[in-house]
Amino acid sequence: MAFSRRGQAPRQEINVWPGWVDALSSLVIVVIFVVLVFVVAQSFLQGTLAEKNDALAKLNTQIAELANLLAVERTGSAEIKDQLARMAAQLADAQAQRDDAQAKLAAAGDQAKDLDAKTAQLALLNEQVGALRDQLTRIENDLAASEAKNKDQQTKIDDLTGRLNTALLSRVEELAKYRSEFFGRLREVLGTQPDIRIVGDRFMLQSELLFPSGSAELQPAGKDKLQELSGVLINLSQRIPSDIPWILEVQGHTDKRPIVTAQFRSNWELSTARAVAVAQFLIAQGLPPDRIAAAGFAEFDPIDKGDSEAALARNRRIEFKFDQR
For residue 117, tell me if it sits in a domain.
Answer: no
pLDDT at 4: 47
Q: Cβ atoms within 10 A of the Cβ of 267, count? A: 23
User: Could you tell me which of 198, 280, 190, 181 has the C-alpha nearest to residue 235?
Assistant: 181
pLDDT at 174: 61
pLDDT at 5: 47
Residue 219 DSSP label: P
Q: Distance between CA atoms of 119 and 215, rounded to whole angstroms?
A: 84
For residue 167, tell me if it sits in a domain.
Answer: no
pLDDT at 122: 75
Which secondary-structure segment (H or E) carries 306?
none
Query: SS3 for 36-72, per residue?
Result: HHHHHHHHHHHHHHHHHHHHHHHHHHHHHHHHHHHHH
pLDDT at 275: 97
Q: Which tens digit of pLDDT belongs to each residue from 120-171?
A: 877 887 888 788 788 778 887 887 887 777 777 777 777 666 665 555 555 5
pLDDT at 99: 83
Q: Residue 261: give its domain's CATH number.
A: 3.30.1330.60
**Ranges of residues in the chain whose predicted pLDDT is under 50:** 1-7
Residue count of the chain, please give it: 325
For residue 65, tell me if it sits in a domain.
Answer: no
Provide the residue range defining the domain that includes 303.
Answer: 192-324
Q: Distance between CA atoms of 18 and 167, rounded to whole angstroms?
A: 197
User: Could you tell me which of 297, 301, 245, 251 has the C-alpha nearest to residue 277?
Assistant: 251
For residue 218, tell me if it sits in a domain.
Answer: yes
Q: Which tens digit of pLDDT belongs to each residue from 175-204?
A: 566 666 666 666 665 555 555 777 777 888
Which secondary-structure segment (H or E) carries 113?
helix 17-190
pLDDT at 13: 56
For residue 209, tell me if it sits in a domain.
Answer: yes
The reported pTM is: 0.47
Alpha helices in 191-216 (DSSP H): 207-210
* 251 burial level (CB within 10 Å; 0-12, 13-18, 19+): buried
For residue 210, tell me if it sits in a domain.
Answer: yes
pLDDT at 113: 73
CB 299 within 8 A of CB 315: yes
For residue 126, tell me if it sits in a domain.
Answer: no
Domain count, the chain: 1
Query: How far lies 31's CA from each of 25, 108, 177, 267, 296, in Å?
Result: 9, 105, 187, 169, 170
pLDDT at 3: 44
CB 222 within 8 A of CB 209: yes
CB 292 within 8 A of CB 179: no
For residue 144, tell me if it sits in a domain.
Answer: no
